[in-house]
Structure formats: C-alpha cells, structure tokens
Amino acid sequence: MDYFYGPGRNHLFVPGPVNIPEPVIRAMNRNNEDYRSPAVPAMTKTLLEDVKKIFKTTSGIPFLIPTTGTGAWESALTNTLSPGDRTVSFLIGQFSLLWIDQQQRLGFNVDVVESDWGQGANLDILASKLAEDTAHTIKAVCIVHNETATGVTNNLAKVRKILDDYSHPALFLVDGVSSICALDFRMDEWGVDVALTGSQKALSLPTGMGIVCASPKAIEASKTAKSVRVFFDWKDYLKFYNLGTFWPYTPSIQLLYGLRAALDLLFAEGLENVFERHARLGKATRLAVEAWGLKNCTQKEEWFSDTVTAVVVPPYIDSAEIVRRGWKRYNLSLGLGLNKVAGKVFRIGHLGNLNELQLLGCLAGVEMILKDVGYPVKLGSGVAAACAYLQNNTPLIASRV
Amino acid sequence: MDYFYGPGRNHLFVPGPVNIPEPVIRAMNRNNEDYRSPAVPAMTKTLLEDVKKIFKTTSGIPFLIPTTGTGAWESALTNTLSPGDRTVSFLIGQFSLLWIDQQQRLGFNVDVVESDWGQGANLDILASKLAEDTAHTIKAVCIVHNETATGVTNNLAKVRKILDDYSHPALFLVDGVSSICALDFRMDEWGVDVALTGSQKALSLPTGMGIVCASPKAIEASKTAKSVRVFFDWKDYLKFYNLGTFWPYTPSIQLLYGLRAALDLLFAEGLENVFERHARLGKATRLAVEAWGLKNCTQKEEWFSDTVTAVVVPPYIDSAEIVRRGWKRYNLSLGLGLNKVAGKVFRIGHLGNLNELQLLGCLAGVEMILKDVGYPVKLGSGVAAACAYLQNNTPLIASRV
Amino acid sequence: MDYFYGPGRNHLFVPGPVNIPEPVIRAMNRNNEDYRSPAVPAMTKTLLEDVKKIFKTTSGIPFLIPTTGTGAWESALTNTLSPGDRTVSFLIGQFSLLWIDQQQRLGFNVDVVESDWGQGANLDILASKLAEDTAHTIKAVCIVHNETATGVTNNLAKVRKILDDYSHPALFLVDGVSSICALDFRMDEWGVDVALTGSQKALSLPTGMGIVCASPKAIEASKTAKSVRVFFDWKDYLKFYNLGTFWPYTPSIQLLYGLRAALDLLFAEGLENVFERHARLGKATRLAVEAWGLKNCTQKEEWFSDTVTAVVVPPYIDSAEIVRRGWKRYNLSLGLGLNKVAGKVFRIGHLGNLNELQLLGCLAGVEMILKDVGYPVKLGSGVAAACAYLQNNTPLIASRV
Amino acid sequence: MDYFYGPGRNHLFVPGPVNIPEPVIRAMNRNNEDYRSPAVPAMTKTLLEDVKKIFKTTSGIPFLIPTTGTGAWESALTNTLSPGDRTVSFLIGQFSLLWIDQQQRLGFNVDVVESDWGQGANLDILASKLAEDTAHTIKAVCIVHNETATGVTNNLAKVRKILDDYSHPALFLVDGVSSICALDFRMDEWGVDVALTGSQKALSLPTGMGIVCASPKAIEASKTAKSVRVFFDWKDYLKFYNLGTFWPYTPSIQLLYGLRAALDLLFAEGLENVFERHARLGKATRLAVEAWGLKNCTQKEEWFSDTVTAVVVPPYIDSAEIVRRGWKRYNLSLGLGLNKVAGKVFRIGHLGNLNELQLLGCLAGVEMILKDVGYPVKLGSGVAAACAYLQNNTPLIASRV
C-alpha cells in the first residue's frame, strides 16, 4: 500500500503538507459519524470558539470549509468583492502569483505590485496608491503573510498602519497559509478583514480544511458582494450557525476530531511557545545555510521567514537534483524551487509539529546531499552552527520540567 | 475526545457519511507526505485509471477534487455552462432542490420540473420540453440519479433515450452522489456527460473528495463555458495531468491512500456483486417496512432505491423523535426527514460497506424504537420478513467459499 | 493484508477475544516508547491503582503480566503453592479442565471435583472435603468463576462461605477470565486470594496482558511457595514496584495505553452499569434460545452466564457447521463447542464492549443459520423475544440523556 | 492520553522497544478476530514459514509465544533441560547476568564464565571447559549474541567451532534478542539449537511476542527434559501445529498482523541490506563517539555491536543525567547504563527500522546534551564524522533508484 517505501521515517521538510503529530493521527483514526447527531454540533461549537484564538480575534467569524488554501482564497475574495472591483495585490513569489491569477480569473481589477522574488511586498508603493486613491476605488488590499516560495514574511502591522494613515476603507485580506499557528498573527490588532489558512500547514493536519476568518466588516461586505458563489458562500454557513447545526453540507468527521486534537496540542504547548519554537528553528536553519556558504533567497533580514527557508544554490547546481537526491538516498523530502526560482533554490520547511533534532537530522542530510551533488560543503558545518545556537536557546520541554 | 460516547458500536444508518471499512481506516492512518515526490503521482495515476471503472467509462476524464458533493455539483455546472444557459432540472426532493438552488445562484436559467416528493423525475415533461426545443436552448439536463431525501432512483437510461429520440445535444449532467458504487452506473452506455459522487457515500470513505467524471463532450464544452471558476476549474487539473504531477493544489494524502484501498475492496468484491448486495439489502429493508405496516415514501416500485429507504410514519408520530430515540437509546444513527418531509419520514441508509447482520441489527432497533414512540408494531415482524428474504438470497462470501 | 475479507463488519461473538472499542484502538495506535522514561511509570502507577477497582479490592496487589490467561493461571499457582500441594479444583468444562491439567503438570496434587458439563461446581463436595480436612492438607481451592465452554457461572460467595464455615485456611484462587469486568466480582468481600483475567475478554483489549491480583495472604504465601518460577515470579514485580520503575522486563506500551483507555471507558459507563448491560444482553440471548426451541447447555438458572451462552443443537445437526456457516455466509463469528460438547453446542459470547443492536444482529444471523442447516426455526422468533425484553429494559445511554 | 507530551517526534534511541514503521502500525490498527476461524491459521502458517528466514534455518521449528524476551529465555531453557543440568553461561553484562540468574532460579547448575563488562564472552575458557568435560556433564552452552548493556557482539561461529572441535554434544542456546533481524544470524550454519528474540527489538514491533526457534536436536531434547513447564511448553504448540489450528491459547491478533507486515518490510528491503544498514549506522555512531573524544564501552573492535553503542562518559559526569536531559530538553530517548555501568555509560540503540538522518538527529542531540552537562565537546564534530562516512557509504533506497 506504500509507494516507494524506504526504511525508517520519512523526513518531511516540504513547507506543507507537514508532519502530523501522533495524537492527531490517533484522533482521526475513526469511523464516520452522523454529522446531524448532537455530538458533531457540540464539538463544532468548541472548534469555532477555539479556532478564533489562532487568529487572535474575538470579533471574527470563522468558517471551516472542506477545501484547500486555494478554495479558502476563493472564499475570501468572492464573499467580499464584486466583479470589476479593484484590488491591490503584491507579487513576490509563486503563491502570491497564483492568488493574483485567481483574482484576475474571478474578474477583479488587480493592481499588481511586483517585487523581485526574495523581497517582501513593496509597501511604499501601497502607500502611494492609497494616497492617490481618494475616490476609494481600491476595494481590497490582498497580501500573502508568508510567501512560501521564497521564505519571505511580510509586515502586516505596517500594512495596517498605511491603511490607517490614509484612512482608507479598503478591505484587508490576508493569506496566512504558511504563517498562522507558526508566526504571530493578530487579526483584531492588525485590523485584518479576512484571514485564512489551510489545515495541512502549521496546524499539522491532513489537507482538506480551509479555515477562513471574517471580520464584522467583511461579513458586512459579504451582504452586498456580487461575486457568484455557492459552495464558498458564507451565507449558507451563517444560516446553519443560526440553526445550531453548523454545517450546510457534510464535513469531514475525521478532520473535525483532528482539528480538536491539533488545537488542544497547540494550546497545551502555548501559542507563544509555538511561535518561539518556530523562531528558534528558523534561526537555526538560517545559521546552517550561512555556515554552508549559501545564500538565503530572502534578501533582507526583516523578511526572514521562520516557517520556510529558500536556499539559493550555485549556478552550476540544479536545485531539483538536491530534492531528488534527498528523497532517493536519505528519505528526506525538501521543497522544490518554483517557477522563477525553479532549479535555483530548494526549500526547507520548518513549520508545524517539529522539534530541534528533527531539524538537525534534516540539516545533516542537506549537507550530505550538497556534497553528493558536488558542492564543496564542509560536512558538519551547518549542523555545528545550528547546534551552537540551539544548545543555548532551547528551553526544557514544559511538561517535563 | 469522543462526544457522548455510548458502549458498543455506533450503528451508522444515515445515508452518508457511511461506515468506513477497517482496511480503509488503516490505509488512511498515516502521516502526511510530499505530494510532489514521485510516490504520490505514481499512486494518483492508478487512481485516475481505476476510478473510471466505478463510472463504467473508458473515455471520461475523472477529477478528484478536495471538496464535498456540493462542490462537485459546482464543478460540473461551472465547467460546462455559461451564465444564462437554460438547464432542465428535476425537483423531487431536498437534494435535487439544493442542486436547483445552486444552479439558480450560479446564474443559469433553470427550467424546473417538479414532482411530488416520493416520485421520480417526470420524464414525460422532459420529452415534451425537448420536443419543443428545436432551437436547442436547453444546454443541459440535470438529474439526481438517486434522491437521498426520499429514496427515489431515477431511470437514467430512459433520460438518455429521450435525449436521443429528439437528437437533442443538451449535456447530460448527473448527480450520482448516493448511487455510484452502490447502484449500477453506466456513464458511457448512458451517454452521461458529467457524473459525480462524494467520497463519503458508497465509496465508504471520509468526506472530502468530490469525484467528478467528464465525457469528451463535457471537456469540449468546458473550453467555451463562461461561468467563473478557479478552484473548481478542470483546466488547472488538465494542465497538471499533462505535466504528470496531477495536482494543481495540495490533495489529501490520506484520502488518496483511502481511495486506493476503497477501490481495491470494491474490485475484490466485484462491482456487480456490490450492486447485488445493495439490491439485497434494499429489498430486505423494504420487506421489513411492509411488515411493520408502514409506507415507503417512494411511491412506485420502479423508483425504489437500493441505497436509502425513507419510511413514512403515521401522522401522530414525529419522525424526528424516532431518530433522536435511536441515537439516545440504541446507539443507532438514522436519517432525518428533510424539508417537506421533515417529521414525516425517517430514513434508513443501506449503502456502502455493509452486510446483512448489520442491517438486521438496525431493523431490530427500528422496531423497538417504533414501539418506544407508541406505534403498535409487532416486535420481530420486520426482522422476520427481512430474514426470510435474506436467508434465501445471501450468497456465501466469495473469499470464504 | 486481510485474510478472507468479507464486506461490512465482522460480527464477533466468540467469547474472546472480543470487540475492541474504537477509543481503545485509537489509544493503542502508536509508536513504541522508552519504558524507563518518567512517562511510562507515571501511567503505570495510575493503572495499578485503577485496575484494583475491577477486582473490587483495596488490599490486593495487581500484576500486569505480558502473557495470556494460561500464563495468568500459572502465575497464580506457582507463586502461592509448592510442588505436591493439594488443591481442590472443579472440572465443569474445557477451561476448568485445562486449568486442572496445568495444576497437575505443575506438580500439585489435584483433588478434582467433577460435574456434568453444563452444571456448576459441586460445592457440596467441597464442603465435605473441607469438613474432612481437619489437617488442612488442602492448600488451595481453585475455581473458574465463569466456565466459558459451557456458559456456567459459579457462586463465589458460596465458596467463601463454605471455607469460612469450616474455618479452612486454604487459599481461594479464582479464574475470572470470562467474568471480571462483565460480572460483579468482589475480591475483598469474597476473600479471594488470587483473581485473574486476560486483556482480551471483558476488558475488550487485544490479547497479551494477564492481569493477576493477589491478596495480602497470597503475597505472604508467595514468600514460601517453592514452585519454580522466574518469568511469572511476583517477587520481581514487587522489587520494581518498590523502585518506582514498575517493570522487571519490557511491557507492551500499546497495551498500557489501551488499558488506560479501557478502564476510562468502563469507569465512564460505571462498573455497575456495565454489569447490568451484560445481564441484559445475557437474558435477551437466553430468551432467544428459548424462542428457537433450543436448550441452553447450562442446566440450571442459578448458573446462567451473562457473558456466554452455549446453545445445544439437536442431535442431527453438527454445531461446528453452524459456526462455519456463520463465518462463511454472514461474517459472523460464533464459538465452537469444545471437547465433550464439540459438535453439540455452539456458543454466543456476549461480553465486553457490546450493545443491544449488535446482539440482535447476531441473533438474527443465528436464526438464518439454523434454517440454513435444516433446523425448523421460525425466523424472527428469537429476535422478537429478545426485543420484547430489551425494549422494556434498555436504559437511555447515560451520556446522551 | 499522552504522558508528558512534547512537540515533534520522540527520538527513540533506546535499544528496545524500538521505532515501529508506519506500515506495521497500520497493520495492527484493527479489531480483534476469532483466532479459530480459517483466517488466523492461514496467516499463522505463512508466519511460521517466513519467520524461519530471519533465523536462517530450514530445519528449525519456530514458536511465537505471547511473552517477552525473559519468557523466551524460560521457554528455551525449560523445554530442553532438566533441573540440576550443568550449563556454561557467559556473564558479560546486565542481560547475560539476568539470564544466568534465571538459569540458577530454574535449578540448573550454572558454570558462569565472567568477563569484564565491555568484553565479549571468554571463549578460551569455554574451550578448556569442553576439553575437560569428557563425561559430557555440560548439557548446554548459553550465550547472549549481543549484550545490550555494553554493546558487545559475540562470535557465534567460533562457539560452534569450539563445540565441534571437542565433538561436544551440549546444546547451543542463543539469546538473539538484540541481534536477530539486525545482525547476520545463521542458525543452521552455526548449529544453534535454540535461538530466540523479542518482537520489540529489530523486528520493530510492540513488545509481546517472544520468538523462539528450536532445532530438531532441541525438539528431541524437549521430549525428555524434566523442567516443569506449561505455559512455555513446546509440546502444546506442536500439538496444535499438527491439528492445523496452531494456537494452544489465544494469540494477539494485532501482533500476528504486525509480524506479517514487519516480515514483509524486512524481505522487501532484503535481509542482507538490513544487516548492511545496521552495520552502516553502527559504524557511523562509533565514528561520532570517537570524534567526541569519548570511549566505547566495548573494549575491542571484534566485539563492536551494530545494534547498540554504550558510550563511556568521563568520571565527573553522571550518564543518567545525559539520559534525563535528552528526554527533558530534546525529546530524545537514550538508554541508561545498567548495574555495574550505571552512571558510567549511556547507550544509543541503533537497531530496527531506522535510517541515516534519524541517527544524525540523535547524534546532534547527544552533542548538545554533552555540552549541556559540561563535557567540552566540539559541537558538530560527531555529526561531521558520521556524515563523512555515511555520505560515502549510503546506497540509494532500492525502491527509488
């Protein structure tokens, strides 16, 4: 039943889908259930309440949609905007590109702000566009919090500030797919109108649940938004929320129990500790990359991502060969370079349910692969750099002190 | 982690989500995987090839979409039709109603052919509409193969014949959600253009995969269809099919392995044997209903469904109380009456991975509940009728002969 | 990976191993762990404390031995007795026979008190033996609480009374394999010195843990007992209990977590409710047998077992054929007749995690099989009798009221 | 349900119980089954046939006993020897000590050949004892193939040669608990009479199955051996082997399916490749230890173990603190020093289903812990040494070439 089985664990370091913790796998190991019995609504109620915490919102309304991140995007856009609406959107890598493509195909008038891949969103241009837009033709600012293709984290607080500076009423729509539950995310504080993530990212679940959270302003916008939508329509959800049965169509029972378990683990560890763990692993990864003498695709420290690091390889090496080698020789799964950076970068995902020694195993593997493909790395150098940092900065596991 | 746990097995007789066989639960009990490694495409290839068999098509192209039946509907419609297009659609129960509602909300001009709930689609009206439509304004005939709310199975061969009789080029779109893998379904023979089902029905998987199969004519139509779509766009799938990587966005690794196992079980049993088993269990259920002195919601034998039986209760009984009682006292999950038949019928789902003694346990439970709620049933009567039939008609288990 | 797969659930009605509840399967779905870390002893401590409750003892000391019931017997005997010691043991069926055989092979001088298979232990003879034994040559009275081969439950309170009547100091050793966690068991009140069960019986776990509980008197006896033992030696356990590390050799991590979950479920339901449920299902089974016109192998009501019913078939039927048929045609697993009653009885195990509708499905199956093999049963008759009783006597599920 | 949960994977590097591969966990994720149905014997037959391959025997008879390694020892001894029989047994560490203790408690006359902990069995003394023993008073030579406490592998071929040199008829009993399925083991070639292992070691299963394999000579000896035994008696197994039902008492259904899956994985990888993988990981570990400037407890290369490495710490460090730290800070489980070497060594188990990057993660963890506890290790040094070796010597994963 396994395709291409290799001995030992697969070392899963793509930036999604990520490792599922054993307690979550266990929680999902179950038969189907009637979702119209009292049990499923009772559990759903706790989920809707608790999932707000990962967005740091109290006023937002969450939707747990049986879809992927792409569907979550579509839900965010079609519920709040009408065809022809102008959006400002930042093109900084493959996932922002795909979201922009979606916006265009959904019929919006997308004002694309492009940066080099490896840079963050150009917020100066945003400021100037907002400044000019006294007529408020811009209906939404769409931004990817963490661009998974290049390992770039955008500064959302700054976006908010710019919007506020110009008292601009545009909706603030955020793709938090590879950030939420890993990087600090403050929906209410930052005035985000729609935030979204996918279950297979830092929540460490299987793929299949798009989690979208809408501010009261976004809910209000949904009442007049003219984009055609049915499956993704919040209205249907809200109707069943009011009925107390919660589901307009059949949810995945397994993902609901899985989400319950995933949230329980996150809260048990403490969200702030989870963020700190990601910061620690991200920093350790970057130190290793530096020790190998390689460049981070991310061009400035302010954009460094604590969930994924895109490593630039020398021109004489094909980064895809590094990924292939990892899988074929060391049972290691790394992320490919995508589109513009295909062949040029490989990616180490360090998000979700992960700890220090898992990362160090991965880094050791990368070193050997680099050598395999002819890069003159000093074996052990990256691990040494990462260890030096981690040995000083890793706290005792809270439950075991 | 369980809500409202009761001792022993839950007896799951809603018409979906249905019981997942143990081998399928096992196959899905796994960590995530990189879906860009060679393993996932290799498996996907076998799935796309094998899933055609459950539609009985060789020329159709299947799409395994991370969504529910509602999303599968939307995929069928938006890929083949343009806003304003005229569809003929049959309203015979809650699910056909919801599909019609979707068609209307997606902007189609829906020509609704209504029947009493409990009757099948009125195909005479279809014939007259097609006869009149010499200008071919009807772009699609949309029909639910098996209306899950009333337990009515429509005759698809007859629909095809009528279309052929009038040489009408309308697309033939079929909701096979509660039929495919349980009732014989012949996409190619019946000239179905889009057929669809959901993983949580007769495939006996968790919810989360909408399986849509498009005929070459439907694929052709998708090239000019103007309905707005991104997440559900077949084009994106076809692009990745051509690349050999198959996935435009992240699939659920667990559902892929689950589907592999589910198909293996269906093929091991033999699809025709699976259909026969459903016919046997359906017949046994109807005999029990008759023995209880209750009416089948389905008004004529030609429409009897072998996947779900909607049982009409006497006016002095609230069918919802029967469902509540089942769950509270006997750990039995029955289907509620929906919309027009709320309170009037309860439903026994007998589809998916199920056998005779499971059904008989359910029927015994229903008898006791009927007595609980004051209906003067003769205890044992339904089980006796079902047993008389099953004892004569159940074959030995093929693998154990 | 499955041998002789059949569609739907297997209906498991052998008197062991029995159905494992889903939450327990989930709890055991895990990787190994270091049993010398702080986690395993911490959990073990709760297990040793809580497992006493299923014996209703406060002074007993439990041992969780990686073995089966046969090994648990050996542990009970070798730790408390010396070669040549006289035991009184009751031969009333296959399992008491096997225990007696073990006692003989271990070198004890076994005073066998035989009854017809279908009768309980002859306690009058016990009384007379004790009366005669003023020299206290009898070192132990060994009795099977519930003889699984014939469905006979012995009266342990009466055994205690007889021992007390004669102020006899013999140890009171009890096989509770098919009783504990299903029938009321009062170790302290009945002055039982060693009680034992196996994980795969009413605890509803996989096979592999023999649970033995020793009274202070039994522990005292173990200090001088000369039977050779190492693997089964309590002394090694007690040494590690004192160290707080608990395990003289490697336990099954999975069974420990499974036991934790199994105990949690039993306590959540309430032990007295568990006993009542077993009484209810036992009674319903016997009513069905009566309705079929068949004889219970158990000869008197006082011995009726609420965990297993051995059904006598007419002489012209081979009971093994009933068992074969059940498995081959209905995916039903019944218990064979053993030894003296081979071919003459088949057994319905109704112990462990089981509910009403599961039993009724089984009873319906048995009816059909009886007809299959030529017995003129009235189909539905047994189910009707069982339903009549259950419909009046089944309480609402506590968590769902 | 988890005690002391920490984020990410537990890094399990105790020398048992070891990591269970996902496919094996899946195979065991199941309900109980009737072990008297045709399915379980059919599977058992394949297991008994295939398990011989891990012993490299064609003439041996295997027993799959529901017990641990300690029970497997008892089975080996009691079935072949009689009280008072003289055995020669080698004391070289904690597990050989425990086996000797068992031999003494079972009443054998044990001729103990002691070595320093860290040395292998003194085979010169064996030779001289055999030379002297012209009367053949030595009934068995008992040896632990791989002493898990010190990481010492004994040379079994040499033992055989010495026995042959003196044409001594003593039985050759071998504890292969931490060797079989990891180190080459040749039962027939080496003339081993009883070999045994436990499921939780290199087979990578949960604890609970003692696997004992007896040569025809051992089977012959069992016919006259007078040691008292019932649970462990081969005779009962042989009786049921002849009946074709295989089990004298209830086996663990889950472990049988688990064993099936575990053997399938081992054969798919290829036993010789499995051994080579262990040799590779063992060598890499020893290179790291050397790079850290620490001593291997094993005193000579000829005894180096490829399944476990016992690392000697400097006198000013308590090795137990290293183990505690690993668990508390890095979710790493290392083996404690036992008995004579308690506090002086910690152990790295590198057996079972494991690959290069898992080991490297562990080694990186050990480096950080060494620094944590004040040993002046150069971070990265061990990993560098291991990587240098592994990068040159790790083959591509066979299924992925």
Among residues D197, C214, C23, D271, which one has the least CA distance to residue B4?
A: C23
**Inter-chain contact D7–A356, Cβ cutoff 8 Å?**
no
Cis peptide before D395 (omega within 30 of 0): no
Q: Which tokens hold the place of C373?
A: 């093999």
Closest B-chain CA to D28:
B26
Closest partner residue to A380 (CB to CB) among D269, D327, D384 is D384
Q: What residues pair up with D146 in beta bridges, in sequence order? A: D153
Looking up tokens 């009366």, which residue turns up? Answer: C131
Q: Is 70 exceeded by the pLDDT of residue B136? A: yes
Among residues C84, A327, C49, which one has the least CA distance to residue D400?
A: A327
Q: What residues pair up with D332 in beta bridges, in sequence order? A: D11
Partners of B231 on chain A (C-beta within 8 Å) are 67-68, 70-71, 73-74, 232
Q: What is the mean pLDDT of residues B288-312?
A: 98
pLDDT in tens, A246-286: 999 999 999 999 999 999 999 999 999 999 999 999 999 99
The answer to whether the beta carbons of residues B345 and B151 sit under 8 Å apart is: no
Q: Is 80 exceeded by the pLDDT of residue B3? A: yes
Strands of B236-395 (E only): list them.
295-296, 308-312, 332-334, 345-349
Q: What is the mean pLDDT of residues C327-353?
A: 98
Q: What is the mean pLDDT of residues B32-49?
A: 97
Partners of C17 on chain D (C-beta within 8 Å) are 32-35, 250, 253
Among residues D88, D106, D58, D47, which one has the least CA distance to residue D263?
A: D47
Those residues with Cβ within 8 angstroms of residue B130's Cβ, 6 or more apart along the chain or in another chain? B138, B162, B163, B165, B166, B168, B170
Q: What is the largest CA-CA distance in chain B?
A: 64
Q: How far apart are CA B227 and CA B255, in angstroms?
A: 29
Among residues D35, D94, D92, which one has the least CA distance to residue D69?
A: D94
Q: What is the mean pLDDT of residues B149-156?
A: 98
Report the residue of A292, A360, A373 to disrupt the D interface, i.e. the one with the largest count of D CBs within 10 Å.
Answer: A360
Neighbour count for residue A46 (Cβ, 10 Å): 13
**Over the range B345-363, which residues count as b (16 or more CB within 10 Å of their CB) and which as e?**
bbbbbbbbbbbbbbbbbbb
**Inter-chain contact A26–C29, Cβ cutoff 8 Å?**
yes
Distance of CA A122 to the CA centre of its chain: 20
Among residues A127, A81, A133, A132, which one has the least CA distance to residue A104?
A: A81
Q: What is the share, in percent, of chain D residues with pLDDT greater than 90? A: 99
Whether the CB of C26 is below 8 Å from some CB of chain A: the reply is yes
Whether the CB of C380 is below 8 Å from some CB of chain B: the reply is yes
- Nearest Cα of chain D lies from the Cα of C207 at a distance, in angstroms, of 5
**Inter-chain contact B357–C362, Cβ cutoff 8 Å?**
yes
What is the dihedral sign for C-alpha D300, D304, D308, D313?
Answer: positive
Mean pLDDT of all residues in chain B? 98
**Inter-chain contact A29–C30, Cβ cutoff 8 Å?**
no
Q: How far apart are CA D69 and CA D65, in angstroms?
A: 10
Mean pLDDT of all residues in chain D? 98
The subunits that touch chain A, with at least 3 C-beta pairs less than 8 Å apart, are B, C, D
Q: Is 90 exceeded by the pLDDT of residue B2? A: no
Report the residue of C30, C67, C231 to disrupt the D interface, i.e. the one with the largest count of D CBs within 10 Å.
Answer: C231
Q: Is 60 exceeded by the pLDDT of residue A47? A: yes
Q: Is 90 exceeded by the pLDDT of residue C2? A: no
Q: Is 60 exceeded by the pLDDT of residue C347? A: yes
**Inter-chain contact A66–B208, Cβ cutoff 8 Å?**
yes
Residue D2's pLDDT band (boundaries 50, 70, 90)?
Answer: confident
pLDDT in tens, D147-175: 999 999 999 999 999 999 999 999 999 99
Looking up tokens 């063992």, which residue turns up? Answer: D282
Q: What's the N-to-C CA distance of chain C in angstroms?
A: 41
Residue B1: per-residue pLDDT: 56
Closest partner residue to A22 (CB to CB) among C25, C31, C400 is C31
Whether the CB of A39 is below 8 Å from some CB of chain B: the reply is yes
Closest D-chain CA to C108:
D228
Closest partner residue to D70 (CB to CB) among C16, C29, C231 is C231
Partners of A400 on chain D (C-beta within 8 Å) are 4, 6, 327-328
Q: Which tokens hold the place of C35?
A: 């049993």
**Inter-chain contact D230–C31, Cβ cutoff 8 Å?**
no
Closest partner residue to D29 (CB to CB) among B1, B26, B400 is B26
Q: Is 80 exceeded by the pLDDT of residue A2? A: no
Neighbour count for residue D48 (Cβ, 10 Å): 16
Residue D3's pLDDT band (boundaries 50, 70, 90)?
Answer: confident
Q: How far apart are CA B272 and CA B184, in angstroms?
A: 8
Phi, psi of D174 (to 5 degrees): -125, 125
Q: Which tokens hold the place of A379?
A: 């074996």
Q: What is the mean pLDDT of residues D221-247?
A: 98
Report helix angle D319-330 to D356-372, nearest 10: 110
Closest D-chain CA to B31:
D22
Side-chain half-sphere exposure of B48, counting CA atoms within 13 A: 22
Looking up tokens 């002046």, which residue turns up? Answer: D376
Looking up tokens 């930052």, which residue turns up? Answer: A190
Q: What residues pair up with B311 in beta bridges, in sequence order? A: B296, B346
Question: So what's the ipTM on this one?
Answer: 0.98
pLDDT in tens, A92-123: 999 999 999 999 999 999 999 999 999 999 99
Residue A1's pLDDT band (boundaries 50, 70, 90)?
Answer: low
- pTM (global) more than 0.95: yes
Q: Which tokens hold the place of B10?
A: 């839950």
Q: Are strands D295-296 and D11-13 parallel, antiparallel or unpaired?
A: unpaired
Cα separations (Å) of D133 from C120, C260, C278, D85, D89?
Answer: 57, 53, 63, 14, 15
Q: What is the share, in percent, of chain D residues with pLDDT greater than 70? A: 100
Whether the CB of B206 is below 8 Å from some CB of chain A: the reply is yes
Partners of C22 on chain A (C-beta within 8 Å) are 30-31
pLDDT in tens, C21-69: 999 999 999 999 999 999 999 999 999 999 999 999 999 999 999 999 9
Q: How far apart are CA D34 and CA C13, in angstroms?
A: 8
Q: Is 90 exceeded by the pLDDT of residue A3? A: no
Q: Is 80 exceeded by the pLDDT of residue D189? A: yes
pLDDT in tens, C77-99: 999 999 999 999 999 999 999 99
Closest A-chain CA to D274:
A7
Q: Is 60 exceeded by the pLDDT of residue D1? A: no
Whether the CB of A35 is below 8 Å from some CB of chain B: the reply is yes
Whether the CB of B38 is below 8 Å from some CB of chain D: the reply is yes
**Inter-chain contact B26–D27, Cβ cutoff 8 Å?**
yes
Mean pLDDT of all residues in chain C? 98
Partners of C102 on chain D (C-beta within 8 Å) are 230
Q: Is 60 exceeded by the pLDDT of residue C1? A: no
- Nearest Cα of chain C lies from the Cα of B396 at a distance, in angstroms, of 4
The answer to whether the beta carbons of residues D164 and D109 sit under 8 Å apart is: no
Q: Which tokens hold the place of A92?
A: 């900084």
Neighbour count for residue A132 (Cβ, 10 Å): 11
Q: How far apart are CA A347 and CA A308, in angstroms?
A: 7
Closest partner residue to B200 (CB to CB) among A38, A233, A250 is A250
Report the residue of A355, A370, A377, A389 to disrupt the D interface, i.e. the one with the largest count of D CBs within 10 Å.
Answer: A355
pLDDT in tens, B302-354: 999 999 999 999 999 999 999 999 999 999 999 999 999 999 999 999 999 99
Whether the CB of D33 is below 8 Å from some CB of chain B: the reply is no
- Which region, left, alpha or beta, applies to residue B16 given φ > 0 means left and ψ of -120 to 50 means alpha? left
Q: How far apart are CA A388 and CA A283, in angstroms?
A: 11
Q: Is 80 exceeded by the pLDDT of residue D317? A: yes
Those residues with Cβ within 8 angstroms of residue A394's Cβ, 6 or more apart along the chain or in another chain? A280, A356, D329, D330, D368
Closest partner residue to C71 (CB to CB) among D43, D228, D231 is D231
The answer to whether the beta carbons of residues B218 and B193 sit under 8 Å apart is: yes
Q: What is the mean pLDDT of residues D109-119?
A: 98
Q: Is 80 exceeded by the pLDDT of residue D352? A: yes
Residue C3's pLDDT band (boundaries 50, 70, 90)?
Answer: confident
Q: What is the largest CA-CA distance in chain A?
A: 64
pLDDT in tens, C171-206: 999 999 999 999 999 999 999 999 999 999 999 999
Partners of A7 on chain D (C-beta within 8 Å) are 21, 265, 269, 274, 277, 353-355, 397
pLDDT in tens, A312-326: 999 999 999 999 999
Q: Which tokens hold the place of A30?
A: 């179950």
pLDDT in tens, D244-303: 999 999 999 999 999 999 999 999 999 999 999 999 999 999 999 999 999 999 999 999
Q: Is 90 exceeded by the pLDDT of residue C335? A: yes
Neighbour count for residue D149 (Cβ, 10 Å): 30
Neighbour count for residue B134 (Cβ, 10 Å): 9
pLDDT in tens, D59-72: 999 999 999 999 99
Partners of A327 on chain D (C-beta within 8 Å) are 400
Q: How far apart are CA C171 and CA C139, in angstroms?
A: 6
Report helix angle C271-291 to C356-372, nearest 10: 20
| DSSP type of residue D174 | E
Q: Is 60 exceeded by the pLDDT of residue C217? A: yes
DSSP string spanning B233-276? -HHHHHHHHHHT---SS---HHHHHHHHHHHHHHHHH-HHHHHH
- Nearest Cα of chain A lies from the Cα of C22 at a distance, in angstroms, of 7
